[in-house]
Structure 1
Amino acid sequence: MSKIIVAAPPIPGETLPMLRLARLLAARGHEVTVLAGSGYRDAVERAGLGFAALGGAADYDVAEIMAERERRGLEPGPASISYDWTHLFVEPAPDEHRSLQALLERDPDQYLIANVLFLGAFPAAMGAPGLRPLRWAGVSVMPLVYGESPGPMGMVPVGPGGDQRAADAEFAGALGLVRKRLGELLRELGADGEVAPLLDAILFAPDTVAVLTVPGFEFARDDLPPTVHLVGSLPAVDSEGWTPPEWWGDLDGSRPVVAVTQGTLMNSDLTQLVEPTLLGLADLDVTVVVALGGRDPAALSIPVPANARVERYLPFDRLLPEVDLFVTNGGAGGVHQALAAGVPVVVAGTTEDKPANAARIAHHRLGAVLGTATPSAEAVATAVTGVLADDTIGDNVTRLAKIYGEHDAVGLIERLALG
Structure 2
Amino acid sequence: MAKIIVAALPITGELAPLLQLARGLAGRGHQITVVTGSRFRADAENAGLAFTPVTGAADFDDRLLDRDPERLKLTPGPEMLNYDWKHAFVAPIPDQYAVLQRLLEQDPDQYLISNALWLGALPTALGAPGLRPRRWVAVTAVPLALSSDDTTFFGPVPVEPGGDQKAANRAANEQFAMMMQPAQDRLTEVLNSLNVTQQFPPFVDATFTAPDVTAALTVPGFEFERGDAPDSLHLVGILPARSAPDWEPPAWWAELDGSRPVVVVTQGTPANGDLSQLVEPTLTGLADLDVTVVAALGRETDALSIPVPPNARVAEFIPFDALLPKADLYITNGGSGGTHQAIAAGVPVIVAGLTEDKPANAARVAYHGLGINLETATPTPEAVAAAAQLALKGTDMRDRVRKLAPVYAAHATLGEIERLTLD
Q: Calculate the TM-score normalised by the size of structure 2.
A: 0.94
Query: 1:155-201: CA deviations, max 9, x gaps?
Result: 9999xxxx999976664223222122112111211222100123211
Query: 1:348-377: CA deviations, max 9, x gaps?
Result: 101111121111111111011110000000
Report 1:368-383 matches (<5 A): 368-383=372-387
Give the whole-Å Cα distance in 2 for the aligned partners of 1:94 and 1:205: 17
Give the whole-Å Cα distance in 2 for the aligned partners of 1:166 and 1:223: 16
Aligned position for 1:400: 404
Give the whole-Å Cα distance in 2 for the aligned partners of 1:168 and 1:230: 21
Aligned position for 2:395: 391
Q: Say if 2:147 and 2:153, in contact at 8 Å, map to a contact too.
A: no
My pick for the range that moved more, 245-254 or 64-73, is: 64-73
Asked whether 1:180 is paired with 2:182, we answer no
Aligned position for 1:361: 365
Q: Say if 1:4 and 1:32, in contact at 8 Å, map to a contact too.
A: yes
The residue type equivalent to 2:76 in the other structure is: P
CA shift, 1:214, in A, is: 0.4
Give the whole-Å Cα distance in 2 for the aligned partners of 1:101 and 1:377: 52
Q: Which runs of 5+ in 2 are unaligned?
A: 159-167
Aligned position for 1:248: 253
Give the whole-Å Cα distance in 2 for the aligned partners of 1:243 and 1:85: 40
My pick for the range that moved more, 87-96 or 28-37, is: 28-37
Aligned position for 1:210: 215
Query: 1:234-290: CA deviations, max 9, x gaps?
Result: 111122222112211111111111111111111111100010011011111111111
The residue type equivalent to 2:350 in the other structure is: V
Structure 1 counterpart of 2:344, from 308, 326, 340: 340
Query: 1:35-68: CA deviations, max 9, x gaps?
Result: 1111211111111111111111101012323322
Number of residues paired by the alignment?
Answer: 414
Query: 1:285-325: CA deviations, max 9, x gaps?
Result: 111111112x1111111011111111111111111111111
Change (3 A) 1:279 1:63: same
Give the whole-Å Cα distance in 2 for the aligned partners of 1:84 and 1:155: 22
Aligned position for 2:40: 40
Q: Which runs of 5+ in 1 are unaligned?
A: none
The residue type equivalent to 2:85 in the other structure is: W
The residue type equivalent to 1:371 in the other structure is: E
Q: Say if 1:155 and 1:355, in contact at 8 Å, map to a contact too.
A: no
My pick for the range that moved more, 60-69 or 221-230, is: 60-69
Asked whether 1:268 is paired with 2:296, we answer no
1:199 aligns to what SS in structure 2? coil
Q: Say if 1:157 and 1:355, in contact at 8 Å, map to a contact too.
A: no
Over aligned residue pairs, what C-alpha RMSD do you find? 2.0
Asked whether 1:257 is paired with 2:265, we answer no
Aligned position for 1:410: 414
**Large movers: runs of 4+ above 4 Å:** 148-152, 155-158, 163-170
Query: 1:180-236: CA deviations, max 9, x gaps?
Result: 211211121122210012321110000001001101112222111100000001111
1:213 aligns to what SS in structure 2? coil
Give the whole-Å Cα distance in 2 for the aligned partners of 1:374 and 1:149: 33
Give the whole-Å Cα distance in 2 for the aligned partners of 1:40 and 1:123: 25
Aligned position for 1:326: 330
Q: Calculate the TM-score normalised by the size of structure 1.
A: 0.94
Give the whole-Å Cα distance in 2 for the aligned partners of 1:167 and 1:271: 34
